[in-house]
Amino acid sequence: MIPNIVNAKTIQIEFTEDDTFSKEIAYIDVGDTIEWLPKNEGHNVEFLGGPNMSSLPESSEVDAFHSITFDASGVYLYHCEPHGNMGMLGLVIVGNDLHNLKEIEKIKLSSTAEAILQKLIISAK
Ligand SMILES: [Cu+2]
């Protein structure tokens, strides 16, 4: 599928004061951009999985603005490095494509994060 640049959208996700991402599952199309806004201190974005495991999107510094344009469809998992073990994680589903969901489910996480990921995956299916 060729991304339609004219219709590309930008979605914004905030770091909340509850140590979560304001949108835990973001559904976007190929070519869309997500911006993470450091509204609360002490958080970042680190990718753990995606359709191309050897070339994941860039991670961000703590408290930094971050912007990623997603050019490959599939499921992406990211977390906040300081709070990942507490379950501060998010999914990005690009192009409604769940082909790599099994690989995402195999990523090693803390038991708390694992439980939250499972909850997100159930609501994503
Ligand atoms: Cu955090």
pLDDT, mean of residues 43-59: 97
Compute the distance from residue 111 Cα to the ligand 1 centre, in Å: 17
Residue 84 CA to ligand 1 centre (angstroms): 7
Q: Which residues contact 101 (CB under 8 A, 6 or more apart)?
A: 75, 121, 124
- Mean residue pLDDT of the chain comes to 95
CB 4 within 8 A of CB 12: no
- What is the CATH topology of the domain spanning 5-124? Immunoglobulin-like (2.60.40)
CA–centroid distance, residue 5 to ligand 1 (Å): 32
Confidence of residue 125 (pLDDT cuts 50, 70, 90): confident
Q: Position 123: which residue type?
A: S
| pLDDT tens per residue, range 27-49 | 999 999 999 999 999 999 999 99
Reported confidence tier of residue 4, pLDDT bands at 50, 70, 90: low
Cβ-proximal residues to 46 (8 Å cutoff; 6+ apart), any chain: 59, 60, 78, 79, 80, 81, 84
Confidence band for 1, pLDDT divided at 50, 70 and 90: low
Mean pLDDT value of segment 70-74: 97
- pLDDT of residue 104 exceeding 80: yes
Where b means 16+ CB within 10 Å and e means fewer, 78-105 reads: bbbbebbeebbbbbbbbbeeeebbeebe
| Centre of ligand 1 from the C-alpha of residue 74, in Å | 24
